Amino acid sequence: MLQHFAKVDLHPGTVSNEQMGHIFEELIRKFAEASNETAGEHFTPREVIELMVTVLLDGDRTLGRDHVVRSVYDPTAGTGGMLSVADDRITDFNRNAQVSLLGQEINPASYAICKADMVVKGQPIDNIVLGNTLTNPAFRGQKFHYGLSNPPFGVDWKQSKKVVEEEHTVRGFAGRFGAGLPRVSDGSLLFLMHLISTLHEAKPEEPNHTAGRGAIVLNGSPLFTGGAGSGESNIRKWVLENDFLEAIIALPTDMFYNTGIATYVWILAKDKAPERRGKVQLIDATGMFAKMRKSVGSKRRYLTKEHIEQITKLYGAFEESKHSKIFGCEDFFYRTITVERPMRRNYAASPERIERALAAKQFAKLADDQQTALRNALDDLAESSAGVVSTSRDEFTKAVRAALDEHGVKLTPAQMKVLISELSEHDEQGELVTGKGGQPEADASLRDTENVPWDEDVEDYLQREVIPFVPDAWIDHAKTKEGAEIPFTRHFYEYVSPRSLEEIDRDLDEVLGRIRARLEEVKG
């Protein structure tokens, strides 16, 4: 390898820094493919980083000042691509800016490359640290002006579970994960919360203070996974309630070398511009791409400079358009209500119900002779009642008790309750089952949930959407949960009317005509 490189003229006068950067990244990508890295874990395409950094800088209104100091942090630094691009773009914008690049990386090989690159750039040797960001953050307590990250897509955090759960439980919002914990199978939202915790806080009393801004690449799962009350939903709600989310940019598919899934760039800000406060901008850039002449792994598309400029203009304009939608933070909130219906039952000792009752775990603990006696008692009850269905719980219970006493079966009150329940079925014309105070008991088999928009009264929703169909329904307010989701695709969906039947029939006739003509040729 050294002999091959010795034959190539790589003098700075021949190869520019930008070209050398591309060569370096191509070598890194090749090694990443050879080591079969997890999708999205190792290498972020340069144009995606360019977009993230460009949007971050576009929202920083103080970057052009004299004697500007900026710190850039990447908790999943990889080989340092995001830090390098950020450094280049900041100094391009302001030659006098003093930039500090800091990062942490868990992969030793990537860490070594990143550290070497940063040292060459003149950064302190301690600015890049090897380790797990979730369990042992290297820069705990420090705040940064910019945060950039491309965390692993859909990778579990089992190995970090003990430490993460302890920080969530013990430290709460004083730590990084107070808002909630996502399911163990995907730790993307943990990195989102970590990144937010590292950004400079807003200080309105200090006019010259610059609050932190961040950009993180995530797949589609963090937008909507998890219902109301789940860890994912609580995290989204916390982000929106605190007005940390500025915009989400949907990227084209097939942008990354190891995966072709849909990806999104979340733009974060600790202090939004006045016109953006309380609002979130969604930008659909899924159709803005150029096709590569030859695919590289899963990467078949890329963003040109024109595309990056177009997306940045959409972001900067902050206006409604075909590719840009603006919402209030609360537009993504909702309530999940539990709709109950009263229990109405009939009772019978039919063979099917008897088998179902005997299969209940409460009777598996009975001695063999007691189980036999219970079966005999129920069989006798079935024979004597001759399949009669009762709508009176009390009368049926008396009949069951009499049969059990005749066979010497003794059941606890809890077992008796289970037995009667298993011998009953829902019946719209059956007896209304009431509990203490005469209130109707809810039938769990008829229970339903409904998602109600945040700005709508749940009782009004019930009267309009439920009562006309099930007049006896009610809401169990104790089970109401608050949630948040960002249904990105739904907001950009454009209805396309189906083709008319006449047009379809005309096409079918044309195709059938061609088939008949060819068959005639074969016969002839």
Domain ranges of the chain: 9-332, 344-438
Of 98, 148, 92, the C-alpha closest to 124 is 98
Q: Give the span between the Cα atoms of 283 and 321, in whole angstroms.
A: 9
Identify the pLDDT of residue 81. 86
* Segment 203-241, tens digit of pLDDT: 877 767 789 999 999 999 999 999 999 999 999 999 999
pLDDT over threshold 60, residue 36: no
In this prediction the pTM is 0.83
Please tell me the distance from the alpha carbon of residue 57 to that of residue 60, in angstroms, as a whole number: 5
Q: What is the pLDDT of residue 448?
A: 95
Residue 31 confidence (pLDDT): 63
Using CA atoms, how far apart are residues 49 and 132, in angstroms rounded to an integer? 22
Region 74-85 average pLDDT: 90
pLDDT score at 128: 95
Whether 336 and 477 have beta carbons less than 8 Å apart is answered as no
User: CB within 8 A of 16, min separation 6: which ones?
Assistant: none
> Which of 15-29, 33-47, 139-153 is predicted least confidently?
33-47
Residue listed under structure tokens 């309530």: 335
Asked whether 42 and 110 are in contact (CB, 8 A), the reply is yes
Mean pLDDT calculated for residue range 124-144: 94
Q: What is the pLDDT of residue 252?
A: 95
In this predicted structure, the answer to whether residue 24 has a pLDDT above a threshold of 90 is no
Share of the chain above pLDDT 90, in %: 62
Share of the chain above pLDDT 70, in %: 95
- Nearest residue to 199 via CA among 73, 47, 337: 73
Span 96-121, mean pLDDT? Answer: 89
For the domain made up of 9-332, the CATH class stated in words is alpha beta
pLDDT value, residue 454? 95
pLDDT band, very low/low/confident/very high, at 308 (cuts 50, 70, 90): very high
pLDDT digits (tens, 9 = 90+) for 314-330: 999 999 999 999 999 99
Residue 30 — pLDDT band, cuts 50, 70, 90? low
Q: Provide the 8-state DSSP code for 509.
A: H
* Cα dihedral 369/375/379/385 (nearest 10): 110
Work out the mean pLDDT of the chain and round it to a whole number. Answer: 90
Nearest C-alpha neighbor of 347 from the set 446, 427, 411:
427
- φ, ψ at 126 (rounded to 5°): -85, 0
Determine the pLDDT at residue 40: 42
Give the separation between CA 397 and CA 471, rounded to whole angstroms: 29
Taking residues 448-465, report their average pLDDT: 95
Q: Is the pLDDT of residue 18 over 80?
A: no
Q: State which of 179-183, 208-212, 380-384, 414-418 shows the largest mean pLDDT.
A: 179-183
Q: Which of 233-247, 282-296, 358-372 has the lowest mean pLDDT?
A: 358-372
